[in-house]
Chain A
Amino acid sequence: MEIRRSTYFVLASLLDGPLHGYAIIRRADELSDGHVRLSTGTLFGALDRLVESGLVEAGEEEKVEGRVRRSYTLTQDGHTALAAEAGRMRRAAGVVEARAARAAT
């Protein structure tokens, strides 16, 4: 199953541990060198699908500095799906790089 780019970076941002919504937005921005700027709608749309498919687990709601937030954790299935997607992209990149290298020599 191919994962959308924005969803890939949502999953990737959770690799180092649980994060809440806004932290995911910032982490995805960092990891993609500013190429993936998640809007709140895109983020929660992706989180809804990921929680539903069991790739991400939603924690309990908490109030911090007057703001309501909830932490999201990558599940084992999430780790597996993310690793599979990374492998797929590596293989896809490998096809192009190998041909480009052959063409150059």
Chain B
Amino acid sequence: MRRLLALACRAFPPEHRARQSDEVIDTAALAADGSTVGTLHEALSLVGAGLSQRLRGESRRSVPDGVRLLVGVLAVVNLAVALAGVIVVAQPLPVYHSCRVILSGVESSCAPMLPFVVDWWWIAFTTAAAGIVLGLVLGNRLLAAGAAMANLALVGYDALFLVNGTDWFSGHLAAFTYGQQSAFPVGRHWLPAAIVLALATAVAPLRPRTLMSFPLALVAAVPLVVLSREIPGSFFFLLGPLAAIVVLAIAFGGLAPRLAMLAVGGVLVALPSEVVCLAHRSIHHDSFVTWAVAAGLVLGLLLPLAQLTRRRLT
């Protein structure tokens, strides 16, 4: 019973006394009077109070706190992209020689995709991605920023020298188009993410965490890798969570600057790909959807930015 109450107290922010001492747990245990129903009632009330505390605490967070959250999220997604890529190239799916259609219908030539190999680029990309996460866990800016720059150099090299114009089937990330009608990231799609990650890592206030956070980050990346394999489009499914973040940021960004910052960073990552899609509108299946997504992304960038600016001015 006491364990349940202790677990419920984890809903409070780490700096709250419910997490720092046994005062709240002891009070809840006394109030529950040893009954199971009483303990459940007390545990639920603690979860509610803890979440409310977290929500109130969000308004006291700063924009740099938001940058730190953005870096953490992007680093885990970047690692997931690297791991998923290695898995795809190590275990290629059956070859489809029919024409593939990617990213809302950009048709391309049907060049044979095999053999994929785990070449130096994938190994270096994965190492850099893991290095960023490790640097963030240790709170070591030199390691985190260095790895983020290496990550940017690798993704930039692939985007600028190996990707052939608008041919999404060139470059290393072409592995994600394998046997699929649409995919993300392909071609130069991941370059904005690498740029945002490198810039944010350079300026984010880093805080050392326990070493346990590193395996936890790996564990967080695993579901993304699995989903990228299970859901068609590789990491295209991330547009769903991004849309949710943008909507929440438009609604609550004024109260929660971390949310606004996360939305701004996420949109900066997704917007260039959408701009490329609009530029090649003539080869699109549904330009209405593309325009609607682009308008949503622009709103998702401007409104949270306005909220952050107003917060800084007032």
A interface, CB within 8 angstroms of B: 20-22, 25, 39-45, 48, 61, 67-70
Contact = CB atoms under 8 A, between A and B. Distances in A.
B26 A69 contact: yes
A1 B165 CA distance: 64
B18 A67 contact: no
Given A22-B30, A22-B31, A67-B30, A41 B49 contact: yes
B45 A61 contact: no
Contacts of A67: 22, 26, 30
B27 A45 contact: no
A21 B48 contact: no
A43 B23 CA distance: 12
B31 A39 contact: yes
20 contacts: A22-B30, A22-B31, A25-B27, A39-B45, A40-B28, A40-B45, A40-B49, A41-B47, A41-B48, A41-B49, A41-B50, A44-B18, A45-B49, A45-B52, A61-B23, A67-B22, A68-B22, A68-B26, A69-B23, A70-B23
Nearest to A58: B17
A19 to B, nearest CB: 11
B42 A21 contact: no
B52 A25 contact: no
A68 B21 contact: yes
A61 B21 contact: yes
Interface of B: 18, 21-24, 26-28, 30-31, 41-42, 44-50, 52-53
Contacts of A40: 24, 27-28, 31, 42, 45-46, 49
B49 A25 contact: no
Contact of A41 (B21, B22, B30, B42): B42
Query: Residue among A40, A43, A61 with the most chain B CB within 10 A?
Result: A40
A16 B48 CA distance: 30
A20 B48 CA distance: 21
A54 B131 CA distance: 46
Interface of B is mostly: helix
Given A61-B23, A67-B22, 12 more contacts: A21-B23, A21-B24, A22-B30, A39-B45, A40-B45, A41-B44, A41-B47, A41-B48, A44-B49, A48-B53, A61-B21, A68-B26
Contacts of B30: 22, 67
A25 B41 CA distance: 14
A39 B28 CA distance: 8
A20 B21 CA distance: 14
Contacts of B22: 67-68
A39 B49 CA distance: 10
A14 to B, nearest CB: 15
A45 B53 contact: yes
Contacts of B18: 44
Closest 8 CB pairs of A and B: A41-B45, A41-B49, A39-B45, A21-B27, A40-B28, A67-B26, A68-B22, A45-B49
Given A40-B42, A61-B21, A69 B27 contact: yes
B232 to A, nearest CB: 43
Of A21, A44, A48, A68, chain B has the most CB atoms within 10 Å of the CB of A44
A32 B129 CA distance: 59
B194 to A, nearest CB: 42
B200 to A, nearest CB: 32
Residue among B24, B27, B45, B50 with most chain A CB within 10 A: B27
Contacts of B27: 20-22, 25, 40, 43-44, 69
Nearest to B53: A48
Contacts of B26: 22, 67-69
Nearest to A65: B26
A68 B6 CA distance: 14
Nearest to A21: B27
Nearest to B32: A40
A57 B30 CA distance: 22
